[in-house]
């Protein structure tokens, strides 16, 4: 079981001498094993919301609950994949995963075994000894995902993890992520700018609006699992994509 509940959340940042509200009355529940994408215009507070859920950022009022328990800072129950790959450059791919496992309290032997398993999972067993600097962007993000999965967090939080990748690599990564997710069944919060990506990956798409950031609409994705590439051309897929886009656009028209 792993649910993430955000209740009546408000958040403001100091702006000069005053406070500027960036999130207002956020109500959002991620059910067990649910894959939820968060979309919305730039600056509407998606990253801020994700950081708050991760426990990396504080908030003014409201509640963030994991399985009904209020969170106290960041923790191993919530894995985070950042847009910047955040692989530690002085450690090779395997050591980067082992680093997380060691922090999670695994023994040395376990670290090695689990790290290798997860490199295999993302198809990088041949690159176990490569340093981040020797890996392409897509490979780096695969290691980062392997690392975030390795210590079995109940919830995975991803902030535009594929935002810096080219279209081809991006497609491969989406394939990989659905495959892994359909296997492991985690609760996922996924921030993206790419609506097609959101539809392809998610069970539900949440649209955020600006001024200050709030939740505007929520669309269930009624496409079967497992997902495959051909679905992207189906009428249901395209219709949903349009609907989501329209919901986001409404926001842009306001000043």
Ligand X SMILES: Nc1ncnc2c1ncn2[C@@H]1O[C@H](COP(=O)(O)OP(=O)(O)OP(=O)(O)O)[C@@H](O)[C@H]1O
Distance CA 168, CA 185 (A): 25
Binding footprint of Mg ion, residue count (CB under 5 A): 1
Question: By CB neighbour count within 10 A (0-12 exposed, 13-18 middle, 19+ buried), where does 177 fall?
Answer: buried
Closest approach, Cβ 158 to Mg ion, in A, equals 11
The candidate with the shortest Cα–Cα distance to 52, out of 100, 104, 10, 2, is 10
Among 76, 236, 238, 239, indicate the residue that binds another protein (CB under 8 A): 76
Closest approach, Cβ 206 to ligand X, in A, equals 12
| Three-point CA angle 9, 11, 14, nearest 5° | 170
Give me the DSSP letters along 81-118.
E-SS----TTS-HHHHHHHHHHHTT--HHHHHHHHHHH
Report the site for another protein in 130-159 (rule: CB under 8 A).
Answer: 130-134, 151
Nearer to another protein, 79 or 209 (CB): 79
- Please name the residues in contact with 21: beta carbons below 8 A apart, sequence gap of 6 or more: 10, 11, 12, 212
- Please name the residues in contact with 24: beta carbons below 8 A apart, sequence gap of 6 or more: 10, 212, 213, 214
Give the x-and-dash track for 10-39 against ligand X (CB under 6 A): ---x--------x-----------------
169 binding ligand X? (CB under 6 A): no
Closest approach, Cβ 45 to ligand X, in A, equals 4
Nearer to Mg ion, 45 or 132 (CB): 45
Closest approach, Cβ 115 to another protein, in A, equals 14
- The interface partner of residue 45, options being another protein, Mg ion, ligand X, none and the CB cut-off 5 to 8 Å by kind, is ligand X
Give the x-and-dash track for 42-71 against ligand X (CB under 6 A): xxxxxxx-----------------------
Distance CA 190, CA 204 (A): 10
Distance CA 231, CA 188 (A): 21
Report the site for Mg ion in 40-69 (rule: CB under 5 A).
Answer: 47
Interface with another protein (CB under 8 A) = 51, 54-56, 73-76, 78-80, 82, 84, 86, 88-92, 99-100, 103-104, 130-134, 151
Interface with ligand X (CB under 6 A) = 13, 22, 40, 42-48
């Amino acid at each position: 079981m792993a649910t993430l509940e955000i209740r009546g959340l408000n958040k403001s940042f100091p702006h000069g001498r005053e406070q500027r509200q960036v999130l207002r009355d956020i109500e959002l529940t991620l059910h067990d094993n649910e894959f939820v994408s968060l979309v919305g215009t730039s600056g509407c507070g998606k990253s801020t919301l994700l950081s708050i859920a991760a426990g990396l950022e504080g908030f003014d009022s409201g509640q963030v609950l994991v399985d009904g328990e209020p969170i106290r800072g960041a923790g191993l129950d919530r894995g985070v994949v950042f847009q910047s790959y955040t692989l530690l450059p002085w450690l090779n791919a395997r050591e980067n995963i082992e680093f997380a496992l060691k922090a999670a309290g695994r023994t040395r032997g376990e670290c090695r075994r689990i790290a290798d398993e997860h490199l295999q999972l993302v198809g990088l067993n041949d690159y176990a000894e490569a340093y981040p600097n020797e890996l392409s962007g897509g490979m780096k993000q695969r290691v980062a995902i392997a690392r975030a999965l390795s210590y079995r967090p109940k919830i995975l939080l991803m902030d535009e993890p594929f935002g810096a990748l080219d279209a081809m690599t991006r497609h491969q990564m989406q394939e990989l992520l659905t495959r892994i997710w359909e296997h492991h069944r985690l609760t996922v919060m996924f921030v993206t700018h790419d609506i097609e990506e959101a539809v392809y990956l998610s069970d539900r798409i949440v649209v955020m609006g600006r001024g200050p950031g709030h939740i505007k609409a929520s669309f269930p994705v009624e496409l079967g699992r497992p997902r495959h590439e051909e679905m992207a051309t189906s009428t249901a897929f395209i219709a949903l994509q349009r609907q989501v886009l329209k919901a986001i656009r409404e926001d842009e028209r306001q000043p």
